[in-house]
């Protein structure tokens, strides 16, 4: 799984952090997405896909 | 370019707004029929505009995420009443503008509403809920849950966060309510907005001279005019006062009306996060959304022409059986993630993580404090809000008096201990 985020698109809703805090965080200053783990382990990939799916700004891309 | 003729349209509809009597939690029944037949259909707006109504989860979501659809207020038509030509959004009103203007404001704010920062407020929400539950207990064993609990808890939180003195609430609370009332005429809205802005403008000036530890003070250092900051402050205050308050009260009403779900939540506090998402889906109190097409857009096999408005029924989308099986059942254990209760797209609720923390704390704390909590009136006598952008109860009379023989089950299961 290849995970990338577009911080220009991010609107800081926090849905990804809510769903998978092990993989996503928000920058303490600007509130936008940060990736903590760009190669999430197999057991976490389903929730990463879900997080990408619910991102309101389409800022998360997952390639497999 | 496609040149095929779109299929003939059925007769345009008007937006269904009447709920079935005795079903205070369900959307107008007509929406389900429309969603099944044509999740994107022609809608006749009260001002004569001919646009669209979207009721299916996937099409609503798609439009909210599509930047070819605009939120600019001056392009919109109300599906509820004839408001004439709408003016552009007030300066600082994020909800009625598009990128890049929207991006600029939103980016100044999101750092203050992150998951982490909102969760750090948990303890403060717990203190405030405890204080209000204590007061209810002292003055009980009956209360109007709205007045005693659901309204003040989020109001105190948004006031503290923004740096608005809660003691001034007489100066802004009623005006905030007027702005969300659909039946308010133009003059009433103008009066409310002017008064609210006047209040915030003075506050912003005070924050310049005497900054305090709060969001409005922080924002005085940002690249914003006082007019912009006044507008942003007004929006955040209104949004914080009347949204979560309705979720707490209406959510409690929904739980009291679904005893099995209430019991499940009482039995398993770990269910609270899921319960909040499911209540957001099931109740969808902020509805509908409206967008205007900036160019011709082909969607769902239909052609939406530039300038046409689409009304997005979030409540219909959140009851779409193709997305949520058995959608009309409140099921706290379901995976409700992906609901559109906070919207979707770049305008998705800025305060959603604050709302989650407030609901997550306030609803379970209420249930834990009063194990015998129940309605003090018949469910059909709970007054529902009408003609407002945020649905909910006007009042929620509750009691936690010991259950008497008269009220108890015939087998005495609820008998006084």
Q: Quote the CA–CA distance of A62 and B291 in Å, as a whole number.
A: 29
Q: Quote the CA–CA distance of B209 and B375 in Å, as a whole number.
A: 48
Helix (H, G, I), strand (E, B) or coil at B50: strand
Q: Quote the CA–CA distance of B277 and B280 in Å, as a whole number.
A: 5
Residue B223 CB contacts under 8 Å (≥ 6 apart), including other chains? none
In chain B, the largest separation of any two C-alpha atoms, in whole Å, equals 75
In chain A, what residues touch B97 (CB-CB under 8 Å)? none
| CB contact (8 A) between residue A31 and residue B112 | yes
In chain A, what residues touch B346 (CB-CB under 8 Å)? 11, 56-57
Which residues are B143's β-sheet partners?
B398
Is the Cβ of B65 closer than 8 Å to some Cβ of chain A?
Answer: yes
Is the Cβ of B100 closer than 8 Å to some Cβ of chain A?
Answer: no
Q: Quote the CA–CA distance of A50 and A44 in Å, as a whole number.
A: 10
Is the Cβ of A38 closer than 8 Å to some Cβ of chain B?
Answer: no
* Residues spanned by the domain of A7: 2-63
- B344 to chain A nearest CA, in Å? 5
Q: Quote the CA–CA distance of B184 and A20 in Å, as a whole number.
A: 43
Q: What is the pLDDT of residue B411?
A: 46
What is the residue-level pLDDT of chain A in tens, covering all 64 positions? 889 999 999 999 999 999 999 999 999 999 999 999 999 999 999 999 999 999 999 999 999 8
Is the Cβ of A34 closer than 8 Å to some Cβ of chain B?
Answer: no
| Cα–Cα nearest to B297, from B55, B72, B52, B71 | B52
Which CATH superfamily groups domain B29-415? Answer: Cytochrome P450 (1.10.630.10)
User: Which of A25, A31, A56 is closest, CB to CB, to B113?
Assistant: A31
User: Which of A26, A30, A57 is closest, CB to CB, to B115?
Assistant: A26
Q: What is the pLDDT of residue B9?
A: 61
Edge-to-edge strand ranges of the sheet holding B374-375:
B142-144, B397-399, B374-375
- B100 to chain A nearest CA, in Å? 11
Structural domain count of chain A: 1
Q: Quote the CA–CA distance of B408 and B372 in Å, as a whole number.
A: 11
| CB contact (8 A) between residue B114 and residue A28 | yes
Helix (H, G, I), strand (E, B) or coil at B134: helix
Q: What is the pLDDT of residue B412?
A: 43
Q: How far is CA B44 from CA B80, B244, B311, B318, B387, in A?
A: 10, 32, 10, 23, 19
| CB contact (8 A) between residue B345 and residue A56 | yes
Helix (H, G, I), strand (E, B) or coil at B297: strand
In chain B, what residues touch A12 (CB-CB under 8 Å)? 106-107, 110-111, 113-114
Averages of pLDDT over each 10 residues, chain B, 417 residues: 54 92 95 96 97 98 98 96 92 96 97 96 98 96 97 96 93 85 79 92 94 95 95 94 95 98 96 98 97 97 97 98 98 97 98 98 97 97 88 96 65 44
Helical segments of B212-351, H only:
215-220, 226-242, 244-256, 259-267, 272-283, 314-317
The residue of chain B with its CA nearest to that of A54 is B338
What does the block give as tokens for B178?
């007027």
Q: Quote the CA–CA distance of B161 and B351 in Å, as a whole number.
A: 11
In chain A, what residues touch B344 (CB-CB under 8 Å)? 56
Classify residue B28 by its DSSP letter: P
What does the block give as tokens for B39?
């999740």
- B337 to chain A nearest CA, in Å? 8
In chain A, what residues touch B112 (CB-CB under 8 Å)? 31
Locate tokens 């310049």: which residue? Answer: B208
Of the residues B94, B312, B348, the best mutation for testing chain A's interface (the one with the most A CB atoms within 10 Å of its CB) is B348
Of the residues B64, B337, B340, B349, the best mutation for testing chain A's interface (the one with the most A CB atoms within 10 Å of its CB) is B337
Q: Quote the CA–CA distance of B230 and B238 in Å, as a whole number.
A: 12
Domain boundaries, chain B: 29-415
Classify residue B99 by its DSSP letter: T
| CB contact (8 A) between residue A13 and residue B348 | yes
Is the Cβ of A7 closer than 8 Å to some Cβ of chain B?
Answer: no
CATH number for A57:
3.30.70.20
| CB contact (8 A) between residue B353 and residue A14 | yes
In chain A, what residues touch B352 (CB-CB under 8 Å)? 13-14
| CB contact (8 A) between residue B353 and residue A27 | no
Q: How far is CA B337 from CA A57, B84, B324, in A?
A: 16, 37, 10
- A42 to chain B nearest CA, in Å? 21
Q: How far is CA A53 from CA A32, B101, B180, B350, in A?
A: 17, 26, 31, 19
User: Which of A18, A29, A50 is closest, CB to CB, to B111?
Assistant: A29
User: Which of B106, B112, B356 is closest, CB to CB, to A11?
Assistant: B106
């Amino acid at each position: 799984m290849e995970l990338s985020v577009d911080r220009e698109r991010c609107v800081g809703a926090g849905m990804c952090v809510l769903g998978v805090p092990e993989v996503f965080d928000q920058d303490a200053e600007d509130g936008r997405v940060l990736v903590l783990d760009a190669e999430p382990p197999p057991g976490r990939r389903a929730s990463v896909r879900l997080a990408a799916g619910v991102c309101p700004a389409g800022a998360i891309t997952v390639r497999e | 370019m496609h040149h095929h003729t779109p299929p003939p349209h059925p007769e345009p509809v008007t937006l269904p707004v009447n709920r079935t009597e005795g079903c205070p939690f369900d959307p107008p029944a007509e929406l389900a029929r429309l969603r099944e037949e044509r999740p994107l259909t022609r809608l006749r707006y009260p001002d004569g505009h001919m646009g669209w109504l979207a009721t299916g989860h996937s099409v609503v979501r798609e439009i909210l995420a599509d930047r070819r659809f605009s939120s600019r207020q001056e392009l919109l038509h109300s599906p509820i009443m004839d408001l004439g030509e709408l003016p552009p959004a007030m300066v600082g009103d994020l909800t009625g503008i598009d990128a890049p203007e929207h991006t600029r404001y939103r980016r100044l704010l999101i750092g203050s509403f992150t998951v982490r920062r909102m969760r750090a407020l948990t303890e403060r929400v717990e203190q405030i809920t405890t204080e209000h539950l204590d007061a209810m207990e002292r003055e009980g064993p009956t209360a109007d849950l709205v007045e005693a609990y659901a309204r003040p808890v989020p109001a105190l939180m948004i006031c503290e966060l923004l740096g608005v003195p809660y003691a001034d609430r007489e100066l802004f609370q009623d005006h905030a309510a007027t702005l969300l009332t659909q039946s308010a005429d133009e003059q009433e809205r103008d009066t409310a907005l002017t008064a609210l802005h006047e209040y915030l403008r003075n506050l912003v000036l005070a924050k310049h001279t005497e900054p305090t530890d709060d969001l409005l003070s922080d924002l005085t250092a940002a690249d914003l005019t006082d007019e912009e900051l006044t507008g942003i402050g007004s929006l955040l205050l209104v949004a914080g006062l009347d949204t979560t308050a309705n979720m707490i009260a209406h959510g409690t009403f929904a739980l009291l009306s679904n005893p099995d779900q209430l019991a499940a939540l009482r039995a398993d506090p770990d269910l609270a996060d899921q319960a909040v998402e499911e209540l957001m889906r099931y109740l969808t109190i902020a509805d509908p959304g409206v967008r205007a097409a900036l160019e011709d857009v082909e969607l769902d096999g239909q052609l939406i022409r530039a300038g046409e408005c689409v009304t997005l029924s979030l409540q219909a989308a959140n009851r779409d059986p193709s997305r949520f099986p058995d959608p009309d059942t409140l099921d706290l254990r379901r995976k409700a993630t992906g609901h559109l209760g906070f919207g979707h797209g770049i305008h998705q609720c800025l305060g959603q993580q604050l709302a989650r923390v407030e609901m997550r704390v306030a609803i379970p704390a209420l249930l834990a404090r009063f194990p015998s909590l129940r309605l003090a009136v018949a469910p059909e006598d709970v007054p529902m809000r009408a003609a407002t952008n945020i649905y909910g109860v006007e009042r929620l009379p509750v009691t936690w008096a010991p259950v008497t023989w008269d009220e108890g089950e015939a087998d005495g299961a609820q008998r006084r201990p």
